[in-house]
Amino acid sequence: MKITKENDRLAVPAKVTVPFIEGDGVGREITPICREIVDYAVAKAYSGRRAIEWKEVLAGEKAFNATGRWLPEETLETFREYLVGIKGPLTTPVGEGIRSLNVALRQTLDLYVCLRPVRWFRGVESPVKAPQKVNMVIFRENTEDIYTGIEWQQGTPEARKFLQFLTGEMGIKKIRFPETSSFGVKPVSVEGTERLVRAAIRYALKNQLDSVTLVHKGNIMKYTEGGFKNWGYALAEREFSEEIAAGKITIKDVIADAFLQNTLLTPEKYSVIATLNLNGDYISDQLAAMVGGIGIAPGANINYESGHAVFEATHGTAPDLAGKNTVNPSSLLLSSVMMLEYMGWNEAATLITKAMETSFVNREATSDLARFMPNGKPLGTVQFGEKIIQLMH
Ligand code: NAD
């Protein structure tokens, strides 16, 4: 049975089909374990009344070996049809005319929000003194900014043509070394900003979070990043003035470099973050490092209008760990938790996060985390998965 979008709400059947991409490299290890844990949590939370029927679709190396294509059309179609899906990490093909499979998925389904919740779990060692103060949800714009990939390599006819346009038609005189410069274009639009900021504010209100901070570099890039700030505030005033007046939500902004500093000094001041694509990239990694690193950071790509959402491990295929039963499945597992929450299956989600926290407090984790815990007990990937199921029992 399919998830549908009805009257602005997701309708999730009790027996729901969820497409998944296993993923390359360590994807083959973490995906089966996460499915098993999710199945157990759902069965336990709803006494068998709800269940997920997993539907495998191909992408990456596995797809290439089976079909000769890195991202078969059928995979995109299935994600389009079933609305909500999940994916393991994918190898980025080199020289295949596709920049990245992840980017192709995001663009095809217009998944304009990259959602990254960052919270600390008791028991996990952190490089900062008070990681419990870090509790933020990042809304990173996913379709604009320099990620559109409009750039020209120095010395090419295209770069020369663009330079001629800049100097000849636009009267630009301040390029320091014009002949040896590469050029890039940074589009940031009103609509792109508004839908991202709207999604962030709605999320904050729904989850009773008290602020949304617009993070930008508008002091330097006045019309792109400054535009993001101004259009964000204008949208908030136009669409959420009642909630702001009632004190339910505060909208504020901070310049990106100051924000990175403040995340270390006063992280408790921030809750929901709305930011542009490149800032969001840096911010997600820094905050992830503050609460335990790459093996435990979940993420999702979402279009809140159509309902399409692809939940994913945020790390890559970790070829150095593949096949060694040491990789941490927590990133994909917490992404599965986000997926359950998105579907409204919060009870199952909570069972998993509680079990994970208990395991970390008991100092039982995969070696990437256990090695930093005092007397940490490193578990293999499979054994960590078994431990989580045991703790839910
Ligand atoms: P990576 O994330 O695979 O690995 C970076 C480092 O982090 C490695 O040392 C790895 O061992 C470690 N690491 C990653 N995930 C871990 C986990 N779950 N538990 C413990 N340690 C973990 O990045 P990379 O090496 O730059 O990229 C490898 C491949 O993955 C490339 O083909 C790249 O294009 C692809 N990639 C895919 C995605 C994605 O599908 N979302 C994201 C990033 C990179």
pLDDT digits (tens, 9 = 90+) for 296-305: 999 999 999 9
* Average pLDDT estimate for 251-256: 98
Is 233 annotated in the active site? no
Say if ligand 1 is within 6 A of residue 90 CB: yes
> What pLDDT was estimated at residue 212?
98
For the chain, the average pLDDT equals 95
Q: What is the pTM of this model?
A: 0.94
Q: Is 143 helix (H, G, I), strand (E, B) or coil?
A: coil
Residue listed under structure tokens 């990259």: 114
3-state helix, strand, coil in the chain (%, to 5): 45, 20, 35
CA distance 253 to 351: 35
pLDDT of residue 223: 98
Distances (CA, A) of 261 to 220, 293, 372: 18, 18, 24
Read off the pLDDT of each residue in 228-257 and give the average, rounded to a whole number: 98
Task: Return the bridge partners of 183, or none.
Answer: 152
Residue 181 near residue 164 (C-beta atoms within 8 A): no
Tokens of 382: 């499979």
Mean pLDDT of 235-259: 98
pLDDT, position 265: 96
Measured distance CA(61)–CA(40) in Å, rounded: 29
Residue 136 backbone phi and psi in degrees, to 5: -130, 155
Confidence of residue 42 (pLDDT cuts 50, 70, 90): very high
Q: Which residue is it, tokens 């009642």?
A: 242
> How would you class 365 by CB atoms within 10 Å of its CB: exposed for 0-12, middle for 13-18, buried for 19 or more?
buried
Q: Is 315 in the pocket of ligand 1 (CB under 6 A)?
A: yes
Three-state SS at 32: helix
Dihedral, CA of residue 9, residue 10, residue 14 and residue 18, to nearest 10: 180
In this structure, the residue with its CA closest to atom 36 of ligand 1 is 316
CA 7: distance to chain centroid? 26
Q: Which atom of ligand 1 is nearest to the CA of 60?
A: 40
Please say if the pLDDT value at position 156 is more than 90: yes
For 184-212, the pLDDT digits (tens) are 999 999 999 999 999 999 999 999 999 99
- Ligand 1, residues 317, 371, 381: which to mutate, most atoms within 8 A of Cβ? 317
Helix (H, G, I), strand (E, B) or coil at 5: strand
Q: How far apart are CA 309 and CA 235, in angstroms?
A: 24
Known active-site residue 24: no
Residue 71 scores a pLDDT above 80: yes
User: Which is nearest to 283 in space by CA: 313, 254, 311, 263?
Assistant: 263
Give yes or no for residue 95 having a pLDDT over 70: no
> Angle CA(76)–CA(78)–CA(81) in degrees, nearest 5?
110
What pLDDT is recorded for position 97? Answer: 61
SS3 184: strand
